[in-house]
Amino acid sequence: MGKIIAITNQKGGVGKTTTAINLAASLHFRGRSVLLVDCDPQCNATTGMGIDKSKVKGLYDVMFRDYPIQEAILETKHAQVLASHADLAGANVELVDMERREFLLKSKLEPVKDQYEYILIDCPPSLELLTLNALSASDRVLVPVQSEFYALEGLSDLMNTVRLVKQRLNPGLELEGLLLTMYDGRTRLSKDVEKALREHFPGKVYQTVIPRSIRLSEAPSHGMPCLEYDRMCRGTRAYLHFTNEFLKLQEAERLQAEQERLERERQAAEEAARKEAEERARLAEEARQREEEAARQREEAKKLEEARKRELAQQRGKKKKGKQRRRQEPQTQEDKPQEAPPPDPEEEARRLERERRAEEERRQDEELRRELQRREEERRREQERRAEQERQKELERLRKEEEARREATHRQEKERLKELSEAQKQAEREQESGILGFFGIKRKRKE
């Protein structure tokens, strides 16, 4: 996805349009796809790229007349341009009564954002609705700062506006950097302004400064960037160096973002692995608890069986002791039992048969009970064995998935690191080739 950069400063005459034109041309010269959007009703970026503003469909038609942005974009040999014309001066009046007026430009640029690496918006020199639209649509803000005292006064107001836009309209808006323009190293004022900026914005002020150059002022009158007008002038060399620094910072930012993304993915993979390990531990703990519960139930059943046997033994012992006590007690004449009549042989046979049958039934019941207990024990063991097999299968499946995921993550990280290394090498080669090409032109002219 392309990066949208708003080039803005509420103070006029600080080099916003010059920076937008020459940065776009230099990026195009470095082989980057770039779109320059002229959001200034003065249309200086349009004429500076050699476009007749009276004969084109521009940003006003795209924003307020629903003209397709793909047809409004013009192809030049320096960069692609979404031009502007004088009708854009009435945009602030038309935006006043519109709903979501701050996001109109963002909605219009959305269809073409992925087609470019960089979209540069040249903003008007005021904090009006067009500037708010540009800031709401942008990812970064590039601020050209003239090396004078008045530029510092307006910079604080601009930073407050950027902060408010970030809080209320565009949370992703960040400061890309500050570029010192019209710099004169011979004066103390320029050096003081530079020192103050670097102290108040550490790490955000570009090392490259744009010097005062008459060639930079002459180039727009010929409808071309200074890169084409005079490649050997100080202004052209400064913007080429600034473009190299800009691209180097963009590449470093991209690499850092990629490393952060890889770190987040690694942490997510570790978190997923930790959760899977916890899940496996939970499953193992549940299986262990089930085994303990089954063992406890078996132990309780065994204790109950032993208690029942002890109770039966105690009852038998009590009956036996009672019989022995009665036999040992002396019997009086009255207590002596009368002699029973001799038993009937048939009745005795039937009694013995009944006792035999009762004993047989008790024996069969005991065997049946033992058989049922045995079957229940076998069924329980079979269930435990199957549960253990299922648990082992689940653990094996989770282990294989974890190995496959780690292997895939490792392979992706290697591929991404390889791509990042190749991209960095390619950027270094491009930068080296650009610098060699620049010095090659210089030697040719001297000859």
Domain boundaries, the chain: 3-231
Average the pLDDT over 331-351 and give the result: 61
pLDDT digits (tens, 9 = 90+) for 389-414: 988 888 888 888 888 888 888 888 88
pLDDT digits (tens, 9 = 90+) for 59-99: 989 988 888 999 999 998 888 999 998 888 888 888 888 88
**Nearest-CA neighbor of 47 among 120, 122, 127?**
122
Alpha carbons 162 and 124: distance in angstroms, whole number: 15
Superfamily of domain 3-231: P-loop containing nucleotide triphosphate hydrolases (3.40.50.300)
Least confident of 60-64, 342-346, 364-368: 342-346
Q: Determine the residue type at 292.
A: E
The reported pTM is 0.62
Identify the bridge partners of residue 82 per DSSP, sorted by sequence position: 37, 73
DSSP assigned state of 344: P
Alpha carbons 447 and 441: distance in angstroms, whole number: 10
DSSP assigned state of 339: P
Residue 171: other Cβ atoms inside 10 A? 9
Sheet holding 80-82, edge to edge: 73-75, 80-82, 34-38, 118-122, 3-7, 140-146, 174-181
Q: What does each C-alpha distance from 63 to 44, 82, 169, 270, 373 come to in angstroms?
A: 19, 12, 19, 48, 86
